[in-house]
Amino acid sequence: MSSPAANAQFLTFYVSDSQFATRATDVSEVFRRPRITRVPNSPPSLLGIAGLRGAAAPVVSLSKLLGGEDKPSGEARLLMMKGDQPVALAVDRVGALTTLPTAADEGVRQGIGRLYHVEDGGLRVVNLEEVLLRDFSWSAMPRRTTVDVEQGTVEEVEDYLALLGFELDGQTYSMSLDEVDEVLSLPGELTTVAEAHEAALGVMNLRGQLLPIVSLPILLGLAGREPASAKVIVARIGDARVGLVVDRLTAILRVPVGAIGAAPAALNRGKGTAQVESICRLPDSGGLVAVLSSERLFSDEKTAQILADGRSEATTMAADETSSTERFVIFRLGGEEYGLPLAAVDEVVRLPETLTRVPNAPAFIEGVLNLRGKVTPIIDQRRRFHSEPRGDAIAPRIVVTALDDRQAGFIVDAVTEILPVRAEQIKQTPAMTGDARRLFTRVATLDGGARLILLLEPKELLDRAERDLLASLDAS
């Protein structure tokens, strides 16, 4: 007599009308399909990465792997597969746990394991590794190292002052970027404080600590209310931290120290202008920008209490910040967020109405711009990342990135914040993103995995811009 076929427990699921199964022991968890962060220029079957259990995991469409289209419904699920390189498989719906005969040709399984296509009551093996290899390279990607800043670059930076520009009641102001810890959106609700200064809007919880929030227009004696798009500049003033509410951000500027002069005495006579420490002359007849003095903002007795409240919380926060942090400029393209190290961002400026066009240039080159006497190519990053501009992208920005003697400006939908990220919140991008992993070397996992931000490698961003430009010119 022949021995009966060995049975095992399987999880069944569907892609369109086709039924598949995998050993239940190969699946660590089943998730509802969350928001998936797209990775530009990644393999076609990779939907992106998702925050699953606080970690960034690659999400692969099984339908696309098998030559179909990804059309998720309310029943769509992700199967987190166990293995040397865990991956979440996107399927249309999950069936049930069932006992099925073990396939005789299963053999030795490595990595993720095998799937079984259920046909007429039998099982046909679908070798998942082989299917994945069609779209992905499983070889280890070369490690990228941080480029050390050369002494010459440091000396050049010292000749410039970095300013964060913003608007208050239709007027443009700025403050030293060295005094800015981060920039974030104004929360919907603040906790009010009794008998506080009229400019004190209340306090907010910032990573477990209370941060005093102050209306900068009211502090300066200006009219106006906080718009829905208002931002909070978290400024470090001495040993205190205070949130300054501004109408909107306008730019990050790097200006020569020689372009900044003392404010005329006439400006220091009124209530609102007494905090103007100096005036910056923008290059290329770009006008003047008032530079605020953070110390003067809280120099009188009434505002001194706000600073005292911020000082006590700042001391506590400094004691709690045991891990190192890195600051990033966060920008938006379509519905996705990306980050560039703040140290690699030279400027953030408005996209002018016209740029100097370059004859026979590729389509992604919008033109060139003269920045501090240097002709800088302006690249439409939306086209290079195949991102559709958002309908609310009414004020696109140019993020200027510089490295060594190279410089380029990248058009983005919006710059949303300056964000400090702790070292433990940053991980290497999953290898399954393929060649895109060279550009997006790291991913920041925030809010318990609910928010993922792809972090770009500045050198690779500039390298690719140069390669694309040269390839387009050679083909023309």
> How confident is the model over 422-461, as pLDDT tens digits?
999 999 988 777 778 888 999 999 988 889 999 999 988 8
Section 182-199 average pLDDT: 80
Name the average pLDDT for the chain.
78
Residue whose entry in the numeric block shows the structure tokens 């964060």: 164
For the entire predicted model, the pTM comes to 0.76
- Do residues 237 and 290 share a domain? yes
* Domain assignment present for 142: no
Residue 458 located in a structural domain? yes
Q: Which residue has the higher pLDDT, 360 or 232?
A: 232
User: Which of 253-262, 263-272, 289-298 bottoms out in mean pLDDT, i.e. has the lowest?
Assistant: 263-272
Are 271 and 240 in a shared domain?
Answer: yes
CATH of the domain at 283: 2.40.50.180
Distance CA 267, CA 270 (A): 7
Determine the structural domain holding residue 435 and report its residue range. 325-475
Identify the weakest region by mean pLDDT among 100-104, 276-280, 334-338, 385-389: 100-104
Q: How does strand 442-446 pair with strand 451-455?
A: antiparallel
Question: Among 124-133, 270-279, 280-289, which stretch is predicted with the lowest mean pLDDT?
Answer: 270-279
Segment 341-393, tens digit of pLDDT: 998 998 998 888 888 887 777 777 888 888 777 888 898 888 888 887 655 55
Total count of domains within the chain: 3
Q: Residue 233 has what pLDDT?
A: 92
Q: Is the pLDDT of residue 193 over 60?
A: yes
Is it the case that residue 217 has pLDDT exceeding 80?
yes
Q: Is the pLDDT of residue 14 over 80?
A: yes
Shared domain check, 337 and 247:
no
Instruction: Give the rounded percent of residues in the chain with a pLDDT score beyond 90.
Output: 16
User: Has residue 141 been placed in a domain?
Assistant: no
Task: Tell me: pLDDT of 1 over 50.
Answer: no
Q: Are residues 445 and 361 part of one domain?
A: yes
| Residue 37 or residue 129, greater confidence | 37
Nearest-angstrom CA–CA distance, 335 and 48: 13
CA dist., res. 67 & res. 51, Å (int): 26
Lowest model confidence (mean pLDDT) among 64-78, 118-132, 139-153, 161-175:
139-153
Q: Has residue 75 been placed in a domain? A: yes
Q: What pLDDT score does 92 carry?
A: 94
CB–CB of 36/439 below 8 Å?
A: no
> Is 144 within the bounds of a domain?
no
Q: Is residue 33 part of a domain?
A: yes
Residues 166 and 289 grouped into a single domain:
yes
- Residue 149 confidence (pLDDT) above 60: no
For 70, phi then psi, to 5°, come to: -90, 110
Q: pLDDT-based confidence at 201, cuts 50/70/90?
A: confident
